[in-house]
Amino acid sequence: MIAEAAPAKINLALHVTGRRADGYHLLDTLVAFADIGDRLNVEAAPTGAGITLEITGPFAKGLSGAGDNLVLAAAKALRAAAAEHGKLVPPVRLSLEKNLPVASGIGGGSADAAATLRALNRLWGLDFSLEALADLSAPLGADVPMCVVGRPLRATGIGTDLDPLAAFGGCDAVLVNPGVSVSTPAVFKALAKRENAGIGAVPDLSGRDALVAFIATCRNDLEATAATLAPAIADALRTVSGTGPLLTRMSGSGATVFGLYDSADAAARAAAAITSAHPEWWVAPTKLAPAD
């Protein structure tokens, strides 16, 4: 059995810089990964069993282990890529522990698909490089290649041109989801302005103060539109701001927002205060992983 982490993806900055003829938007985004997320187990299955998926965990409800689940789509994409290299792969049983809220801007399904590719690459002995896995994963979703790489990075193009950040020191954070799911296409479609400035030159982000100062000069260009479509996002942003963070912002197309803090203690205190004011919200203190 192979266990693989599927960490939550956080867009520290997300600039929308244009739109392609096919409707996809051009982005300039800085992404980090949390130390919390979903978990995927993969193991060999008996001959004839095919590829199966069971889903457990607090957010398993409403997701199906059949049909269009991104875990199954990723497994099938890797099986097809292996076949193109003349390798037939054996049946496999996949098990997903769903800890992240669904359709929440922190890439849950994308992280799961990426974890599936990494885990099956090992189980099936395929030897695809991380770059090759990222390339073959793009048709599964714009966020999947960045989740395959799983390190702090800048992504451009539609989010699939990846440039790992050499100097990124990490930071304590709290993730807050006010319990509404947001449709990514609906947010992109409702944007009033699509031609915005990019992020510009990224400085050394090794120190926390430099990291926060730079991120503060950036934006999430989806935030205002998402908060109009889902007013609970504005409530979550206000609530996180009220706990004295270094910075508050929305991730992806929402509804999850995050605060950055100057210590793990400060993040834990903020998380406790938010939970006590909104016991129905998903609140997760975490550490954004540094570049290694």
Ligand X SMILES: Nc1ncnc2c1ncn2[C@@H]1O[C@H](COP(=O)(O)OP(=O)(O)OP(=O)(O)O)[C@@H](O)[C@H]1O
Q: If you write DSSP's letter for every residue of 208-227 in order, what string do you get? A: HHHHHHHHHT--BTTHHHHH
Q: Please tell me the total number of residues recorded for the chain in this structure.
A: 292
Judged by beta carbon, residue 11 or residue 248, the one nearer ligand X is 11
* Least distance to ligand CDM, CB of residue 32, Å: 12
27 binds, among ligand CDM, ligand X, none (CB under 5 to 8 A by kind): ligand CDM
Contact yes or no for 288/173 (Cβ under 8 A)? yes
Binding mask 273-292 for ligand CDM (x = CB under 6 A): --------------------
**Closest Cα to residue 171, out of 122, 134, 214, 137?**
214
CA 209/CA 110 separation, integer angstroms = 30
Backbone angles phi, psi at 156, to 5 degrees: -130, -165
| Binding residues among 216-275 for ligand CDM as defined by CB under 6 A | 252-253
- The answer to the question of residue 185 lying near ligand CDM (CB under 6 A) is yes
287 an active-site residue?
no
C-alpha dist (Å) from residue 149 to 82, 117, 137, 171, 269: 20, 11, 11, 19, 31
Neighbours of 166 (CB within 10 A): 11
CA 251/CA 220 separation, integer angstroms = 7
Residues of each annotated binding site for ATP: 101-111
Judged by beta carbon, residue 115 or residue 126, the one nearer ligand X is 115
The active-site residue, picked from 38, 112, 143, 172, is: 143
Using CB under 6 A, list all residues that contact ligand X.
Answer: 63, 68-71, 102-110, 112, 143, 184, 252-253
- Read off the tokens for 259: 């605060």
Contact segment (CB under 6 A) with ligand CDM among 24-32, 79-87, 166-174, 198-206 equals 24-32
127 an active-site residue?
no
Judged by beta carbon, residue 126 or residue 175, the one nearer ligand X is 175
Contact yes or no for 283/28 (Cβ under 8 A)? no
CA 206/CA 167 separation, integer angstroms = 5
CA 252/CA 233 separation, integer angstroms = 12
Contact segment (CB under 6 A) with ligand CDM among 114-122, 174-182, 184-192, 195-203 equals 184-192
- The answer to the question of residue 69 lying near ligand CDM (CB under 6 A) is no
Task: Give the end-to-end CA distance of the chain in Å, rounded to a whole number.
Answer: 27
71 binds, among ligand X, ligand CDM, none (CB under 5 to 8 A by kind): ligand X
- The answer to the question of residue 142 lying near ligand CDM (CB under 6 A) is yes
* Least distance to ligand CDM, CB of residue 200, Å: 19
- The answer to the question of residue 141 lying near ligand CDM (CB under 6 A) is yes
- Binding region for ligand CDM (CB under 6 A): 11, 14, 24-25, 27, 29, 110, 141-143, 158-159, 184-185, 188, 252-253
Catalytic residues: 9, 143
